[in-house]
Amino acid sequence: MEFLLNTYKRLNIQFIKGKGATLYDTEGRDFIDFGSGIGVTSVGHNNSRLGEAICHQAKTLLHTSNLYRIPPQEELGERLVKLSGMEPAGVFFCNSGAEANETALKIARKYGEVNGEIKRYKIITLKNSFHGRTISTLKATGQPKFHTYFGPFPDGFEYADSIKDIYNHLDDRTVGVMLELIQGEGGINPFKPTEIRQLSEELKKRDILLIVDEVQTGVYRTGEFLASQLYQITPDIVTLAKGLGGGVPIGAVISRLTDILQPGDHGSTFGGNYLATRAGLEVLTILEEFYNSGKLEEGIKLFTANLEKLKNRFPTIFTGITGKGLMVGLKVTTGEIRDKILEKGVEERVLTLKAGSNTLRFLPPLTITPSEIGEGFKRLTAGIKKVIG
């Protein structure tokens, strides 16, 4: 690793292949993956249908740029709009969640510039939020620990302490509110649906845009295509990434403001190319079938039941379960114990994640099988026993 920048704390494990929710390292050991590459491998590792779609596309065209029409991009855009229930809307494709959120911010800022008598530019986000690692999305992120070293930042961002506190920040310069319905990096913190619906209505009355960051919650992660649908709201802008490509980098913005951005306002060299959008189309097809068959709901119920068993078995370690669908967490009494569980879990060959100060985070492949769920929790239980001695 001597030629790589020191930006990650990497474990000394090298995976060489995978299947479903199972990874295999260079020593032939198998690991149950409860993290899916931080919510990315939504249809599992080495999904044969996704692999075939990618290989077929690679043998025809990988990339031509957005100077020309790209049929799978147009088809994926239509699928996203219809699945989101935001029609009429348009889609912009990019390569990551941070880029998607940057696009959303630009749409909002231009909307505030060209609509109304005064320039509206202020964006309100929430404390403990996470929206990306570019300069603007870092500033949008309401966690000071991510801000160190990287200022000065763009002006016009304010952080509210809670959903109710957002109202205290609204003024005639506010153009948008950006939030995660379930904060991911902040600790798997879901907000109350009633509060979100009330906020949505108030923002509509004031002509303030509601931007929902669904980079982690979107693409069936919470049980529906969008968490916004669970909360029964229709945002003005939704951002997606992570699970949409099943492992191929892709980001997307679904915007009901279809006439704000004009040629030259924004762009992406790689965004929405043949490879990424073909992968996205296959992922959506697989997951739509999985959702409609009821298997996604079955997997969610089984995973949740196992979390309950684990919490009840170790009441001195776990204080609660949080999240929705297959974006869930166990609240641990301390961050130190949480980190030890992560470490011992790896020893037992099960991979989990952390979030916030004391949350053990789970983002398994959406297509995880009952046997993989059972084996994963068996190994995690063994790891926890090592922690408590």
Least confident range of 6-10, 78-82, 196-200, 274-278: 6-10
Domains, the chain: 15-33+294-388 (3.90.1150.10), 51-291 (3.40.640.10)
* Mean pLDDT, range 240-264, rounded to an integer: 98
pLDDT at 116: 84
- Binned at pLDDT 50, 70 and 90, residue 9 comes out as very high
Q: Which residues pair with residue 159 across a beta bridge?
A: 125
Closest CA to 313 of 372, 383, 375: 383
- Phi/psi for 91 (5° steps) reads -125, 140
Handedness of CA 359, 191, 97, 158 (dihedral sign): negative
Closest CA to 255 of 210, 303, 313: 210
* Mean pLDDT, range 119-139, rounded to an integer: 97
Residue 216 scores a pLDDT above 90:
yes
Residue 389 scores a pLDDT above 90:
no
Mean pLDDT, rounded, of the chain? 97
Burial status of residue 49 (CB atoms within 10 A of its CB: 0-12, 13-18, 19 or more): middle
Note the pLDDT tens digit of each residue in 19-59.
999 999 999 999 999 999 999 999 999 999 999 999 999 99
pLDDT at 117: 87
- Alpha carbon distance, N-terminus to C-terminus of the chain: 34
- Phi/psi for 293 (5° steps) reads -75, -15
